[in-house]
Amino acid sequence: MKSVYFDSAATTKVRDEVIKDMQAVLAENYGNPSSTHAFGRSSKSIIESARKTIAKHLNALPQEIIFTSGGTEADNMILRCAVRDGNVKTIITSPIEHHAVLHTVEELRNEYDVTVEYVKLLHCGTPDYSDLERLLSANDERKLVSLMHVNNEIGNILDVKKVAHLCQTHNAMFHSDTVQSVGHFSWDVQDVPIDFMTAAAHKFHGPKGIGFAFIRKNSNFKPLIFGGSQERGYRAGTEPVHNIKGLETAFVLAYDNLEAESAYIQDLKDYFKTKLKEAIPGVKYNGNCEDQVKSTYTLINVCLPMSPEKALTLQFQLDLKGIACSKGSACQSGSGKGSHVLAQILSEEDMNKPSIRFSFSSYNTKEEIDYVVDVLKAFV
């Protein structure tokens, strides 16, 4: 049986170079970074080198990079601290954000009685920027806007520069979940006046369990996890030095190879779209998947023309054929619930059809796409 992995939006294959660097740190740099002896200083230098590497590429300050366990923790940290410490009274978000944001803002509404507003969406799932401006100008309360850069299910790309400038104009803070973006798109936090962003290494061929938050200086946030003084006091706990090294290596390789790999992956996506349309004329692409400018090159979300009864066994059949992909996002696939993202943009008729997310990396090939299309055609 073939084995085809088209689920890189859920998590990516770890690069060999990343594994090698992590193994070296595990074997040689085992000192506690908070210790003052040579073993500790050696570990500490690895952490600070990684922080400087990431900051330099983002055009940020090293102290603005805070290592976390991943995107979910980083989103929680930023949103909770913005309300608790930043005097935020209103959070403006969208109904198609990752649940790391949606569930957190609901908790904050219950705990702190903050107002939560949801920006209207256009039919394709893109936020209505005029409605965002209306919400921002509604009153003088301190506001935080939280909108993701690249949607993890349908791949829509937010105009972050436009949103950042709207927030600046109305004296609001801007947080973006950039977990599907960092490592796949270039960033300059001086050019885009964003206040907070998040990343997870396993989305760009690094290890799981490590990521970072960008928190712009003078945000005056207090610790969320108490204990030691690690991570500038934001996050107590002994740092996972090997994971941080893996994050740095994956980050550097992602951007060193960005131009070549993004062009290669975009070609794969275009090839997939063409082949699938030829094989299954009734296929639809959800969100902005057909638009090269408004959609990420890394994934495609397709709605297949088949009955609800037949649709129930589709993913099981794909798995039997060795094909890994996601029904909605991987974070939701085990919940038994439908996609909250697709529910916002699809008709009732199309919601009863199967929608599958295929996401790509430079490890994929056109031969794999041919195999997947043949399997889908035979099943449909």
User: Catalytic residues, which ones?
Assistant: 331
Sign of the Cα pseudo-torsion (151, 154, 157, 158, in order): negative
Looking at residue 106, its amino acid is E
CA atoms of 245 and 238, how far apart (whole Å): 14
Task: Please write down the HEC assignment for all residues of the chain.
Answer: CCCEECECCCCCCCCHHHHHHHHHHHHHCCCCCCCCCHHHHHHHHHHHHHHHHHHHHHCCCHHHEEEECCHHHHHHHHHHHHHHHCCCCEEEECCCCCHHHHHHHHHHHHHHCCEEEECCECCCCCECHHHHHHHHCCCCCCEEEECCCECCCCCEECCHHHHHHHHHHCCCEEEECCCCCECCECCCCCCCCCCEEEEEHHHCCCCCCCEEEEECCCCCCCCCECCCCCHHHCECCCCCHHHHHHHHHHHHHHHHCHHHHHHHHHHHHHHHHHHHHHHCCCCEECCCCCCCCCECCCEEEEECCCCHHHHCCHHHHHHHCCEECECCCCCCCCCCCCCHHHHHHCCHHHHCCCEEEEECCCCCCHHHHHHHHHHHHHHC
CB distance 207 to 246 below 8 Å: yes
Helix axes 241-256, 38-58, angle to 10 degrees: 30
Residue 299 pairs with which residues in a beta bridge? 359
Count the alpha carbons within 13 Å of 337 in the hemisphere toward its beta carbon. Answer: 10
